[in-house]
């Protein structure tokens, strides 16, 4: 039985590679799309050697929205599953000072990811099948002073995914929203994260695979985050604005 | 971050980095006093440097495989169990494996690990074709038996002290199944155990689980296990259909540090006696799967916690062949009289030694654990003396407490290695807590 190809947008990210390995272990061919894709040659060989699936590399810049269609045209096949893990945390302080920096964070977390998934959505819809996975963040659940530029872009992405899911329901195309809490990756390297709230990239990958298999709509990677965010959302704005969390 | 080896003794606060590529690694090494760390399965302080511990587990990619020769090229952080998972279904198995599959390629090279087939096939290094090593200046050298042979020679068994291993090429062996034909030979005493292993020199695998607490006539009573990779012909019909598939193992986990009373002398003695009697009943041939045969302890996660909070020290020595019977008897008597030690110890025949600071030499090796207590540390000093008196030496991958003087009396290569490291400016660029303790 041949399994559908899995496209990873943001193929260099720790989470993206973990997702690729997970699907490869189940026999799915993998398409890794990333900036400077040639630099992923060792990862390509690793996945091919371990899992005996075909892995292809594709240059991809999420901000170069004009090239999205060409990227998809250049894939060996339209994938069955597409996962977007592209994201950019940026520095909150810099985003406050420099509008260009803020715009880059907004575009990298919202505009770019939304538009590439929109392009895929149209093709999946025409085919009548497929699963789109967007990796957003709990940071989009409520704006906080520490990272609201990033958080607001993730909020936009989360809302976009929700609308896309609504549009495609009943058309054979499913949309999964993933809301990881803390994950130990390059993005968070050097931060002092609480162990109980911090997932390994492999855990994110496992929950993505499960969510795709069971056609879940919205998943938090560690269940405790649903609780944490429930509480944070419930705090009245008049109190929240004075808090430092 | 607080780090220790598998024995959880000693523990040290270590500055740790996790470089992803050569540039990041070079920057980390520039800080000096660096030691590479793999999966932390060495028992003592070999992979600890308070100043600069370099976690290599991110270097975990397999890069190339030649299906004709079974040669795999992989990064140093690749874990042995992943090699088995990827290649056993294709009919390949590691040529040499230690008693746990949770070790990295870098750790296996740096300790030049031996397996149950050392008497026949030598250590892991015998199957390594080349190694890429990053030296003190951040330069990467590919070394092999032909290119930079000295670096190759001393990196095998060099415990990370010659530089950081980035990647290596090593050969796997062809197998026809995931099964081992095991022969169990109960040996009522030490001489019988050694006789059985001498008689089995042609067996691919041989090892003895030895009851260290037995005394008198029964001193050194053992279960000697011999093994051969089962050929397809050796399998019954159901197994022939899927020769590389084995039943899923149940995993156990040690929930917490056990209080040390659980491991008191009386319960140990009873456990060991029971183990021997049960085993002796299963004498003869049976078919066992690779995981159970090579990695019995891997089924119990975190088993290193059974020795309590203070951790434990492993003792592993090798005695030259002609001193083995006498020396092992002396060691076992000292251990049995003290009435402490691990559930079981391992006795094994080794073949001739190999590279650099590599541990094996022709003779017998004994390995066992001791919970860290004042009394046990004194006992270990006594065991060191017995080993020295018999011309033996110690395994650095297991050591956490030996003195400089003991190492030098046991191993004339230590001074040579120390001088070479200085000449090649590997000191002070590369250092571990162990190398500082031992003056390497
Ligand atoms: C249950 C158990 C059974 C064992 N059985 C055996 C056995 O049968 N035979 C045997 O020989 N050993 C055995 N060992 C010991 C083990 O094989 C070695 O200690 C091995 O070195 C551990 O590998 P690691 O990746 O965990 O390395 P670590 O413990 O992290 O490091 C060990 C040494 O390797 C060096 N090192 C690690 N990675 C690199 C690198 N990339 N570059 C340079 N140096 C590096 C470190 O500096 C250190 O000196 C056993 C250990 C356990 C826990
Ligand atoms: N780590 C966490 O705690 C955490 C928590 C919640 C959500 N997330 C989300 O999880 C996703 C994966 O992040 P990660 O933790 O694995 O961190 P990461 O390694 O930094 O991954 C982010 C990836 O996005 C890619 N990217 C950024 N800008 C791009 C662009 N213009 N074009 C193409 N690719 C671009 C980066 O590519 P390059 O490699 O080329 O730079 C990088 O691979 C992100 O969306 C992140 O927001 C992470």
Can you tell me the mean pLDDT for A143-163?
97
Comparing CA positions, the residue from B221, B209, B215 lying closest to residue B337 is B215
- Whether A146 has its CB under 8 Å from any CB of chain B: the answer is no
Tell me, yes or no, whether A11 lies in a domain.
yes
Res. B300 pLDDT band, cuts 50 70 90: confident
pLDDT of A1:
61
The residue range of the domain holding A62 is 6-240
Residue of the nearest CA to atom 34 in ligand 1? Answer: B107
Give me chain A's average pLDDT, please.
96
- The verdict on a CB contact (< 8 Å) between B20 and A186 is yes
Residue A96 within any structural domain of the chain: yes
Quick: pLDDT tens for B92-145: 999 999 999 999 999 999 999 999 999 999 999 999 999 999 999 999 999 999
Residue of chain A whose Cα is closest to the Cα of B167: A42
Both tokens assigned to A225: 């985050």
Least-confidence region, from B170-174, B248-252, B255-259: B255-259
- β-pair type (B11-13, B2-4): antiparallel
Residue A34, ligand 2, Cβ within 6 A = yes
pLDDT of residue B280: 79
Which residues of chain A neighbour B21 with C-beta distances below 8 Å? none
Whose CA is closest to A149, among A90, A189, A201?
A90
Question: Pick from A49, A186, A189: which is nearest to B65 by CB?
Answer: A49
Q: Report the gap between the CA of A35 and the closest CA in chain B (Å).
A: 17
The domain tally of chain A equals 1
Name which of A45-59, B120-134, B260-274, B380-394 the model is least confident about: B260-274
Q: Is A110 assigned a catalytic role?
A: no
List CB contacts (< 8 A) between B64 and chain A: 45, 49
Distance CA B411, CA A148 (A): 62
CB contact under 8 A, B61 and A186: no
Per-chain mean pLDDT for chain B: 94
Q: For residue B233, what is the DSSP state?
A: G
Which residues approach ligand 1 with their CB closer than 6 A? B 5-6, 35-42, 46-47, 56, 76, 98-100, 103-104, 106-108, 110-111, 113-115, 159-160, 164-165, 297, 397, 432
Specify the pTM: 0.95
Domain ranges of chain B: 179-403
Task: Tell me the chain A residues in contact with residue B86 when contact means C-beta distances shorter than 8 Å.
Answer: 49-51
Which residues, including other chains, have CB under 8 Å from residue B132's CB and lie 6 or more apart?
A: B140, B141, B142, B143, B165, B166, B167, B168
Q: For residue B107, how far is its CA from the centre of ligand 1 (angstroms)? A: 4
Q: Which of A11-25, A187-201, A203-217, B72-86 has the lowest mean pLDDT?
A: A187-201
C-alpha–C-alpha distance, residues A180 and A197, integer Å: 10
Identify the residue whose C-alpha is closest to ligand 2 atom 7. A137
**Domain B179-403 indexed as CATH 3.40.1050.10:** no
pLDDT in tens, B196-212: 999 999 999 999 999 98
Structure confidence at residue A196 (pLDDT):
92
Residue range B397-410: mean pLDDT, rounded: 98
pLDDT of res. A9: 98
pLDDT at B262 over 70: no
Would A245 be classed as within a structural domain?
no
CB A125 within 8 A of CB A173: yes
Instruction: Provide the CATH number for the domain around residue A81.
Output: 3.40.50.720
* B299 — pLDDT class (breaks 50, 70, 90): confident
Q: What ipTM does the predicted assembly reach?
A: 0.91
Contact B367, B138 (CB under 8 A): no
Ligand 2 centroid–CA A88 distance in Å is: 6
Q: Which of B61, B65, B85 sits opposite A43 (nearest CB)?
A: B61
Average pLDDT for A132-142: 97
Evaluate the CA torsion angle B289, B291, B293, B296 in order and state its sign. negative
Q: Is residue A194 in some structural domain?
A: yes
Q: Using one digit for the tens of pLDDT, what is the confidence trace for A48-104?
A: 999 999 999 999 999 999 999 999 999 999 999 999 999 999 999 999 999 999 999
Length, in residues, of chain B? 440
Taking only Cα atoms into account, the Rg of chain A, rounded to an integer number of angstroms, comes to 18
- Nearest by CB to B61, which of A46, A186, A189? A46
Q: Give a yes or no: residue A172 inside a domain.
A: yes
Q: How far is the CA of A12 from the CAs of A17, A41, A190, in angstroms?
A: 6, 11, 19
Q: Whose CA is nearest to atom 17 of ligand 2?
A: A187
Helix (H, G, I), strand (E, B) or coil at B70: coil
Residues of B with CB under 8 A from a CB of A: 18, 20, 60-65, 75, 82, 85-86
B58: its two tokens: 């991110």
A185 lines ligand 2 (CB under 6 A): yes
Containing B238, the helix (H) or strand (E) segment is: helix B237-241
Q: What is the pLDDT of residue B261?
A: 46
CB contact (8 A) between residue A46 and residue B63: yes
Q: Does A202 touch chain B (CB under 8 A)?
A: no
């Amino acid at each position: 039985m041949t399994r559908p190809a899995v496209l990873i947008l943001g193929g260099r990210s720790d989470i993206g590679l973990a997702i690729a390995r997970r699907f490869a272990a189940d026999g799915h061919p993998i398409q890794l799309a990333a900036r400077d894709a040639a630099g992923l040659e060792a990862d390509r060989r690793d996945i091919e050697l371990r899992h005996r699936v075909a892995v292809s590399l594709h240059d991809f810049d999420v901000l170069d929205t004009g090239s999205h269609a060409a990227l998809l045209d250049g894939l060996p096949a339209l994938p069955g599953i597409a996962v977007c893990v592209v994201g950019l945390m940026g520095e909150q302080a810099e985003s406050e000072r420099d509008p260009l920096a803020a715009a880059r964070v907004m575009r990298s977390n919202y505009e770019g990811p939304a538009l590439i998934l929109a392009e895929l959505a149209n093709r999946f819809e025409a085919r009548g099948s497929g699963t789109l996975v967007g990796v957003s963040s709990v940071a989009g659940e409520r704006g906080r002073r520490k990272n609201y530029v990033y958080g607001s872009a993730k909020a936009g992405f989360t809302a976009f995914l929700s609308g896309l899911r609504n549009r495609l329901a009943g058309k054979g195309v499913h949309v999964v929203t993933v809301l990881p809490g803390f994950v130990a990756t390059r993005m968070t390297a050097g931060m002092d994260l609480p162990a109980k709230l911090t997932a390994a990239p492999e855990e994110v990958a496992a929950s993505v695979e499960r969510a795709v298999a069971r056609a879940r709509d919205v998943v938090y990677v560690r269940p405790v985050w649903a609780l944490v965010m429930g509480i944070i959302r419930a705090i009245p704005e008049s109190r929240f604005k004075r808090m430092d969390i | 971050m607080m780090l220790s080896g598998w024995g959880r003794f000693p523990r040290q606060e270590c500055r740790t980095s996790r470089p992803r590529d050569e540039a990041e690694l070079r920057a980390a090494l520039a800080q000096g006093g660096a030691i590479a760390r793999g999966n932390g399965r060495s028992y003592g302080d070999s992979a600890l440097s308070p100043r600069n511990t370099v976690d290599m587990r991110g270097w975990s990619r397999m890069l190339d495989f030649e299906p004709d020769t079974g040669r795999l090229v992989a990064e140093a952080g690749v874990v042995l169990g992943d090699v088995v998972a990827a290649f056993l279904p294709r009919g390949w198995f590691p040529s040499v494996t230690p008693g746990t599959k949770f070790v990295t390629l870098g750790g296996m090279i740096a300790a030049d690990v031996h397996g149950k087939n050392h008497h026949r096939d030598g250590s892991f290094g015998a199957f390594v074709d080349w190694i890429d090593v990053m030296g003190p200046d951040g330069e990467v050298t590919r070394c092999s038996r032909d290119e930079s042979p000295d670096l190759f020679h001393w990196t095998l068994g060099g415990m990370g002290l010659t530089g950081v291993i980035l990647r290596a090429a090593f050969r796997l062996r062809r197998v026809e199944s995931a099964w081992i034909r095991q022969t169990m030979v109960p040996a009522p005493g030490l001489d019988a155990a050694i006789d059985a292993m001498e008689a089995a020199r042609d067996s691919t695998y041989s090892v003895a689980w030895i009851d260290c607490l037995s005394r008198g006539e029964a001193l050194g009573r053992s279960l000697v296990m011999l093994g051969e990779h089962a050929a397809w012909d050796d399998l019954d019909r159901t197994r022939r259909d899927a020769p590389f598939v084995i039943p899923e193992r149940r995993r156990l986990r040690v929930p917490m540090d056990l209080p040390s009373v659980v491991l008191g002398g009386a319960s140990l003695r009873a456990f060991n006696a029971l183990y021997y009697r049960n085993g002796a009943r299963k004498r003869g041939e049976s078919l066992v799967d690779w995981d159970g045969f090579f990695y019995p302890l891997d089924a119990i996660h975190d088993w290193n916690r059974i020795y309590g909070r203070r951790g434990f020290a492993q003792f592993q020595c090798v005695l030259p062949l002609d001193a083995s019977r006498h020396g092992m008897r002396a060691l076992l008597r000292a251990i049995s009289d003290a009435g402490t030690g691990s559930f079981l110890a391992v006795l094994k025949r080794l073949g001739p030694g190999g590279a650099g600071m590599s541990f094996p030499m022709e003779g017998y090796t004994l390995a066992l654990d001791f919970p860290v207590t004042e009394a046990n540390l004194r006992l270990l000093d006594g065991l060191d003396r017995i080993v020295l008196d018999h011309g033996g030496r110690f395994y650095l991958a297991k050591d956490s407490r030996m003195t400089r003087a003991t190492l030098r009396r046991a191993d004339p290569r230590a001074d040579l290695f120390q001088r070479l490291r200085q000449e090649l400016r590997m000191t002070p660029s590369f250092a571990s807590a162990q190398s500082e303790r031992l003056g390497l």
